[in-house]
Amino acid sequence: QVQLVESGGGLVQAGGSLRLSCTASGRTFSSSSMAWFRQAPGKGRDIVAGISGTGGSTFFRASAKGRFTISRENAKNTVYLQMSSLKPEDTAVYYCAAASRYTSMVPVGHMSYDYWGQGTQVTVSS
């Protein structure tokens, strides 16, 4: 059984930082993309950042560029999202996602990901 378990969410003041971690079990994802999505109340689930299997290709939503970084440690089957200069509009539930197949580009749509974590709440106070 494949599981993705996120950790690292919490409450932080605007301008602060958080690092989210997501560890997969049940299979390895070293050949496929992993990503972080977020969903605010009443809104859809949108990609924040994604990373290819080798880590050589990444994607960031426009609002995350320059503030967030994504990395992975395939030996630990883990992906990270380092978030800095956080803003109240970053408040959301953050989900880790993993694709089951290799793609040359990092997919940005949630339908391209087959496995999901349970989500971790990130709240940024003003």
The residues that bridge with 23 in the sheet, in sequence order, are: 5, 78
Per-residue pLDDT tens digits for 35-72: 999 999 999 999 999 999 999 999 999 999 999 999 99
| pLDDT reported for residue 15 | 98
Q: What region does 42 belong to: left with phi over 0, alpha with psi -120 to 50, or beta?
A: left
| pLDDT reported for residue 78 | 97
Which residues contact residue 54 at a Cβ distance below 8 angstroms, ignoring those fewer than 6 apart?
none
In the chain, the percentage of residues whose pLDDT exceeds 70 is 100
pLDDT surpasses 90 at 18: yes
Which of 53-64 are b and which e, b meaning 16 or more Cβ less than 10 Å from the residue's Cβ? beeeebbbbeeb
Contact 32, 102 (CB under 8 A): yes
| pLDDT reported for residue 125 | 98
- In angstroms, the CA 53 to CA 15 distance is 31
pLDDT surpasses 90 at 106: yes
Give the residue-averaged pLDDT of 105-116: 95
